[in-house]
Amino acid sequence: MIKATLHDIAEKTGLSVSTVSRILRGESKTSAENVKLTIKVAQEINYPINTRVLNGKYSYKKKTQIALITSFYPDEFYSNFYHGFNEAGIEFNTNLSLHSINPEEFDLAEFITELSYNSIDAAILFLPTFQEIDYESLLEKIPQDFAIISAAPLFNPVLDTITFDSYRGGYIVAKHFYDRKYFDVGIITGPNNKNEALLRKNGFLDFINQKKDLNLVWQFEGDYSLDSGKMAFEAYSKLKDKPRAIFTSNDYMCLGFLEQASKHGVKVPDEIAVVGYDDLPICNYIYPAVTSVHTNYKMLAQKTFSVLIEKMESSDSHSGILSVIPVSLSVRNSS
């Protein structure tokens, strides 16, 4: 592949090579139209430029370009998640682009660096399996003046982080069971490599440990999938001493559990009360309607954009600030 040159840009724009060169160095005092045209042509022919830096010099873009980087799956959770961020992005006059990666098989630092040189001004990471060492390594490799923020929880945040209060989510589920006088309870946990799953579990267990008459009688480790909810029901059905209520750490596992309960004639909530997490729209459309921890993705996105844009303007380094978005419980027929 033949590399693009300044001469190619000059030919396509009708400007001199020296003018094009000054524009792309951020040193030109030419018109905004020439700047826009030059950068547009450079991008079209894949000439390497740093549009983020150039925008700081010329302010030629009307909207901030923000990348949302995650491991996207075509399901209801990610659809809701992205919809909330897209709605908030419109309010903040930004263009939001979605980038799906597998961080275990992908050089994220290289990818972010490339984005930073090709029109992206800042990035939001939602990578629930990322740990402290991963973020530390990332910050060492990406441009220091590129604004980045995380929307996934970490016990010891490295990036500034905006996330849901997962601990509170588990806590209010246990309180709900206690208020309903369901004293023997169980939990289907999420995968241990996801911090929010551990936080949900910790909040649930901590409330139980505060109440002498509330007992955790069963635990099952799931993986957030529908199938693991079904497997959890099979394990539950073999128990001699069954819990009266179960907290499933996400809605998919809850739906899998309820599907099997229905097939086996188990009455919900008369025999077993069940609560999910994420409050996906489907919770309203099945029978019985599912009680679930409500997470407001638009609220999460609004706070994330606000902090991110502030970081872009101030160029502050990361201090590991953690801001949590409150969650609530949408009580329905399953509990």
Q: What is the pLDDT along the chain (335 residues), one digit of tens a residue?
A: 578 899 999 999 999 999 999 999 888 888 888 988 998 898 888 888 776 677 777 766 667 889 999 998 888 999 999 999 999 999 988 889 999 988 778 899 999 998 888 778 899 999 998 999 999 999 999 988 889 999 999 899 999 999 999 999 999 999 999 999 999 999 999 999 999 999 999 999 999 999 999 999 999 999 999 999 999 999 999 999 999 999 999 999 999 999 999 999 999 999 999 999 999 999 999 999 999 999 999 999 999 999 998 888 776 777 888 999 999 999 999 99
The CATH number given to whatever domain includes residue 27 is 1.10.260
235 within domain boundaries: yes
pLDDT of residue 61: 64
194 within domain boundaries: yes
> Edge to edge, what strands does the sheet with 147-150 contain?
94-100, 64-70, 122-126, 147-150, 161-164, 322-325
Instruction: With H, G, I as helix, E, B as strand and everything else as coil, classify residue 292.
Output: strand
Q: Are residue 120 and residue 192 in the same domain, yes or no?
A: no
CA angle 89, 281, 101 (to 5 degrees): 50
> Edge to edge, what strands does the sheet with 328-330 contain?
215-221, 184-189, 245-248, 273-278, 291-294, 328-330
Q: Are residue 246 and residue 312 in the same domain, yes or no?
A: no
Q: Are residue 20 and residue 83 in the same domain, yes or no?
A: no
| Structural domain count of the chain | 3
289 within domain boundaries: yes
Alpha-carbon distance of 148 to 125, in angstroms, equals 7
Q: Are residue 14 and residue 43 in the same domain, yes or no?
A: yes
C-alpha separations of 222 from 171, 180, 232 in Å: 19, 25, 7
201 within domain boundaries: yes
273 within domain boundaries: yes
Q: Are residue 84 and residue 143 in the same domain, yes or no?
A: yes
The CATH number given to whatever domain includes residue 218 is 3.40.50.2300
Q: Are residue 72 and residue 90 in the same domain, yes or no?
A: yes
